[in-house]
Structure 1
C-alpha cells in the first residue's frame, strides 16, 4: 500500500476516510472514481456567453471531484465568447479543464446528466438536471419538470452559480449526503439570498463593476473569487487593479479544490499562477507574496476593498487593521458535518474582526486519527507526524468554495447597485434555500472605484 502525504491528499477523498466509509486512501479514491457526470449542450452554446460560462465552470468543478469522468455531448467546434476564455477554441478548453468530448449518440444513459440550453430529456433512470439562470439568479431544476428561467439579462455570476449548484447536487446524489438530491430544484438569488430563486424579483441590470480589489489568500476561495470576477462583463482592456496576496506554493492536493490549480503548476507560487491567468483576461495585477497579518497596511493608492479567503484565525482577526474601507470575508466548514457550510462576514460591522476570531487563535482542527483509513496508513509505514498532518487537513470540495466566491463578489456588486448590505450570511450547499442573513445597520455609498459593465 502506498503512503500518501498531506500535500498529495485529495481533499474530497478525505471525506470518505474520515467518515469510515473508506478503510484506506485508495478506497476513498475508488469511491470518487465511481462518481461521474454527462453534460449535454444545445447548438445555441456556440453563441451564448452565459451557456459557455456555465459549461466551462461545471466541467472545471466536476473533473476535480467526479473522477469517473465528465463527458460533454453535442459540443460544436467554435471559438469561445465567454469572458472566462474568450477567443479560445471551446472544445480545446473543455479538454484542458478535464472534460471528454463525446458524440451525440455515444453518451451513456447510466450516468447522471446535466443539460444546458434547449436539450431534451433522455430516457434514463438517472437524475437529469437543467442549469438555468436569469438576472442575479442561478441554479438547477429537474429536466423532466420543464421548469426553466428566462436566461436573459444575465449577471455573469448567475451561470457560474448554476454550475456550482449542479456540481453540489451531483455530489450529494453520488455520496448520498442529502435524500432529495436529484429530485429537487436547487439554487439561489444573489440579489436577495433569502428570496425564492425561481420567482421574479426587483433586481437591477448589471451596470457597474469593481475596478480596484485586494484579494487575501489564493487557495480554494481566492481562486473562486478570481474565477467569479473573470466571469463578469468587463470591457476589453479594462485594466482593473487587483492586488493578489499569498505566500504559498501550489501542492498536488490543490488540484482537488482550487479552480486555477493544475498538476503542471505544482511548486509554483499561487499568486503568480493566478496573476498570469487574470492578466490574460485584461486585469492589472500586483503580487504580494508576504503573509497577511496585524502588520499589514495598505497604501492610499491601493485598493480600498479586500476580499478575504484565508482559513487562519490570526489573519482574519487582523482584517480591520490594514486600512480597508470594506472587507468581505468568507469561511468554509471543514469537518464531516460542516464541510458544505459557508459563512460570510463584512466589515466594518457591529462586531470587530479581532473580537470575532481572536479567541480562535491557536486552536487546531478536529483529528480523525482513529478512523480505519489512518490505521491502514500507519500499518503501511507512515510516521506519527505524517499521520497528524494528514488527519488535520480539512475536507474540501471546489463547488462549496465557488458558491462562496459568488456570494462574496455579489456582495460588492449589490452595494455598487444600491442593494441591501449584508453583515453576516450563513448557508450550506446541502440547502441553499435555507439562508440566514443579518443586514448591516449602517452603510455608506460605495466609494472604492468602479467601472461600467459592458452592455450586451
Structure 2
C-alpha cells in the first residue's frame, strides 16, 4: 500500500504525523486521523439564520477533511438553505453534501461543538461557537461568555467555525495542553484585539467588493471563494471574479481545499472553482496560465487581486502585473509551522520582489529520515518520489480559511474607512496574538456594491 503513495495522493494532514515521527508508516498516519471525530449539535436558529448556516456548513466542510473518523450533526432540519455554500436546497441535504452525517444521538467518545441554543453537553469535551459583528471564535462549555451570534457579518461566523476546527484538531492530536480548556477567536476588524470584548469602532457591514482577481486556487484560493460566497451580496451576478491557476485537482487537494473532492480529481482547478462560484450566482472569467512576469492586468480587469500561491518566485512578480491593490496570504510549513499564517498588502513600504527574491526558493525541513519515509523507501518508492513526498508541506484547511478571512476582511475594512494592514502574522494555536503593521490608505476606489 505504501508504494502506491506519491505526492499527489498524500493526505496533507496525515503528513503531520509522518513528519513528526509519531506515525511509523503512511497507513499509521491515516489510522491516527481515522480516530478523530466530532459531534456537532445545532440549535433551532440555523433554520432561519444565514450566519448560523454559514458557521455550520463551514465547520462541516473543514472538519470532514481532517477528522476522518466522522463528523456527525444533530438537530438539523429540512429548513431552506439560505447561503449558497452547497447545491442542495435544504440545510440537512447541504450538510450531507459537504460530508457530514446526520445523526439522532452522538458518539459518546467524541468532543462536541455547539451552534446556537442546544442543551448543555454532559461528560464530554465541548465548545460553543459564538460571534458578533466582526468578531468570532469558540469558547469551552465551562466558559459562560457568549457574544450575540448576530447576522452582522457572516465571515465572523465562518471564522468561529475555523477556530473550532483548529481546537478540535489540537485536542485530538494532543499537541496543545490547553485545547478544550480555552477560548479561541479573533477580530476581523482589529486583528490582535480581544475578540470577546465589545468594540464600538466596528461599523455595520454596508459595502462589498464588486470585482477581484484570484491568483492560485488551492487551499487559500478555494477558501477565498468560499468566504466570498458567505458575504451578503444583493446580486452576485454583478460581482466579477477572475480565476487564475494552471493546475488540476489532485487527490491531495481533498484534504486541504474546500471546493475539492475525489470525484473532481483531474479537472482544472479554474473550472471546478468557476462552476461552484457560478452556481452561487457570481460571474467568472478564467486565466489558465501560471502567474508570472508575463501576467498583465488589462484596463477592464479587476483592479484588486488576492494571491494564495505557495512559492517565493511567483510572489516576487506580484508587483509587475499592474494591480492597484494586492492582498497576499501565506501559510506556514513543516510539522512545527503548518498552523502559521501571514498577510501582505501592496503597494507597501517594500515591493514584492524585495520580500521574495526570485532566486530564493526557500529551504524545506528535511524529514526524509523519519520512520514513515524509511518504510516508504523499503516498500519500493524511488529516490525522486521520496524527495517529492518529503518536500510537500503539512496542510490543514482551517488555517487556510483563517488566513483567507483576514485577506477578504482587508478589503471590507478598507471599504469601511479603516486603516490598511501592510503585514500581519499569527498562528491558529494562538489567534489572540496576531501581529500587525498598519498603514494609512486612500479611500477604496476599486469597485463596490451594497450588502443585501
**TM-score using structure 1 length:** 0.97
C-alpha distance in 2 between matches for 1:277 and 1:129: 31
Aligned to 1:335: 334
From 149, 165, 168, the equivalent of 1:167 is: 165
Q: Contact between 1:196 and 1:433, CA under 8 Å: does it hold in 2?
A: yes
What does 1:358-437 align with in structure 2 at a 5 Å threshold? 358=357, 361-437=360-436
Contact 2:367/2:390 (8 A) holds in 1? yes
Q: Matched residue of 1:39: which SS?
A: strand
Match of 1:158 in 2: 156
Which one of the candidate residues 111, 133, 136 is aligned to 1:135? 133
RMSD (Å) for aligned C-alpha atoms: 1.2
Is 1:17 matched with 2:15? no
C-alpha contact 1:109 1:123 (8 A) present in aligned 2: no
Cα deviations across residues 262-289 of structure 1 (Å, max 9, x unaligned)? 1110000000000010011111100000
**CA distance in structure 1 between the partners assigned to 2:339 and 2:362 by the alignment:** 21
Q: Any stretches of 5+ residues in structure 2 without a counterpart? A: none
Q: Tell me the matched-pair count.
A: 450
Query: How far did residue 341 of structure 1 move?
Result: 0.3
Matches within 5 A, 1:25-424: 25-85=26-86, 88-103=89-104, 106-124=105-123, 126-201=124-199, 202-358=201-357, 361-424=360-423
Q: Which runs of 5+ in 1 are unaligned?
A: none
Deviations 1:153-198 (A, max 9, x none): 4212011100000000000111112111100111000000121000
1:55-84, CA deviations, whole angstroms, 9 ceiling, x for partnerless residues? 000000000000010000111122211243
| 1:30-74 C-alpha deviation (Å, 9 max, x unpaired) | 000011000001122111111111000000000000001000011
Return the alpha-carbon distance in structure 1 between the equivalents of residues 236 and 180 of structure 2: 42
Contact kept in structure 1, 2:78 and 2:92, CA below 8 Å: yes
State the partner residue of 1:446: 444
| Distance (whole Å) between structure 2 residues aligned to residue 290 and residue 303 of structure 1 | 17
Query: 2-side partners of 1:89 and 1:46: how far apart?
Result: 9
1:360-411 residue CA offsets vs partner (Å, 9 max, x unmatched): 6333422211000000001111111110000000000000000001000000
For the residue of structure 2 that corresponds to 1:197, the secondary structure is: coil
| Cα offset, 1:312, TM superposition | 1.2
Which residue in the other structure is 1:2 paired with?
Answer: 2
SS in 2 for 1:95: helix
C-alpha distance in structure 1 between counterparts of 2:363 and 2:248, whole Å: 22
1:133 and 1:154 in contact (8 A); partners too: no
Given that residues 343 and 426 in structure 1 are in contact (C-alpha distance below 8 angstroms), is that contact kept between their aligned partners in structure 2?
yes
Q: 1:381 to 1:244 in 2, by over 3 A?
A: same
Q: Secondary structure at the match of 2:334?
A: coil
Secondary structure of residue in 2 paired with 1:358: coil
Q: TM-score, normalised by structure 2?
A: 0.98
Contact 2:313/2:358 (<8 A) preserved = no
Give, in angstroms, the shift of residue 110 of structure 1.
Answer: 1.9
In the alignment, the residues of structure 2 paired with residue 69 and residue 200 of structure 1 have an alpha-carbon distance, to the nearest angstrom, of: 36
CA 1:86–1:219 in 2, change beyond 3 Å: closer, same or farther?
closer
Structure 1 Cα separation of the partners of residues 87 and 116 of structure 2: 19
Q: Structure 1's 86 and 137: CA in aligned 2 closer, same or farther, altered over 3 A?
A: farther
Kept in 2: contact 1:83–1:233 (CA 8 A): no
Matched-pair contact (CA < 8 Å) for 2:51–2:151: no
- 1:366 & 1:353 partners in 2: Cα distance? 24
Runs of 4+ in structure 1 off by over 4 angstroms are none
- Tell me: CA distance 1:30–1:356, structure 2 relative to 1, closer, same or farther (3 Å): same
For 2:242, what is the secondary structure of its paired residue? strand
1:13–1:206 Cα change, 3 Å? same
Does the CA contact (< 8 Å) of 2:207 and 2:449 recur in 1?
yes
SS in 2 for 1:65: coil
Q: Is the 8 A contact 2:87 2:279 kept in 1?
A: no
Shift of 1:91: 1.2
